[in-house]
């Protein structure tokens, strides 16, 4: 309900929350904006695959449908969960052989970076090691930051400024 109220405050009068496991997903085709909520990224990826929504979201995103990701939802907008499989292999309790995600953007993010660094002080070095190993850059986002991606344009949004 809090998410629904927040989205309504942004000017969207009609907000419909969908559960990919139980609801009719035809609303995705007519939605003005889609918001992928956060949670557990490996489970979210598994559920989107099992309900055949993963490819549908990719198609909608590439067609220009605005999709907003929160935490794990934002991670899944990227190409894969390879970074998370590297950092947290024990979290892949779903035993996903492939971590290919929505792939609406090539950008890989690490949300909640500030908070997670406090809990896991070795995190900065682990991410840097992964970047060197793969040749891929990770956008580290604090809880006050977000990325606005429109085609090839990327804008950092910081609520502190």
Digit-by-digit pLDDT tens for the chain (161 residues) are 566 676 677 777 777 777 888 888 888 888 888 888 889 999 999 999 999 999 999 999 989 888 888 999 999 999 999 999 999 999 999 899 999 999 999 999 999 999 999 999 999 999 999 999 999 999 999 999 988 887 778 888 888 75
CA–CA distance, 19 with 151 (Å, rounded to integer):
28
CA–CA distance, 155 with 147 (Å, rounded to integer):
6
Q: Give pTM, 2 decimals.
A: 0.88
> What integer pLDDT is reported at residue 94 of this predicted model?
86
Identify the DSSP state of 112: T
> What integer pLDDT is reported at residue 92 of this predicted model?
93
Contact in structure between 38 and 72 (CB atoms under 8 Å):
yes
Q: Write out the two tokens for 114.
A: 């500030």
> What integer pLDDT is reported at residue 99 of this predicted model?
95
Identify the DSSP state of 73: H
Contact in structure between 5 and 13 (CB atoms under 8 Å):
no
Task: Count Cβ neighbours within 10 Å for each residue of 100-123 and write b for 16 or more, e otherwise.
Answer: ebbbbbebbbbbebeebbeeeeeb
> What integer pLDDT is reported at residue 148 of this predicted model?
85
Q: What is the DSSP string of 82-105?
A: HHHHHH-GGG-TT--S--B---S-
Phi-psi bin for 71: left (phi > 0), alpha (psi -120 to 50), beta?
left
């Amino acid at each position: 309900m809090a998410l629904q109220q927040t989205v309504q405050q942004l000017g969207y009068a009609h907000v419909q929350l969908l559960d990919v496991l139980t609801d009719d997903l035809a609303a995705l085709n007519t939605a003005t904006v889609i918001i992928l909520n956060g949670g557990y990224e490996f489970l979210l990826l598994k559920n989107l695959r099992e309900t055949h929504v993963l490819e549908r979201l990719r198609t909608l995103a590439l067609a220009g449908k605005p999709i907003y990701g929160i935490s794990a939802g934002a991670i899944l907008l990227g190409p894969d969960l390879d970074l998370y499989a590297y950092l947290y292999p024990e979290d892949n309790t779903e035993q996903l052989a492939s971590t290919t995600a929505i792939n609406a953007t090539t950008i890989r993010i690490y949300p909640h970076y500030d908070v997670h660094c406090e809990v896991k002080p070795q995190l900065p070095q682990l991410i840097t090691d992964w970047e060197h190993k793969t040749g891929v850059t990770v956008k580290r986002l604090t809880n006050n930051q977000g990325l606005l991606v429109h085609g090839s344009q990327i804008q950092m949004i910081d609520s502190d400024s």
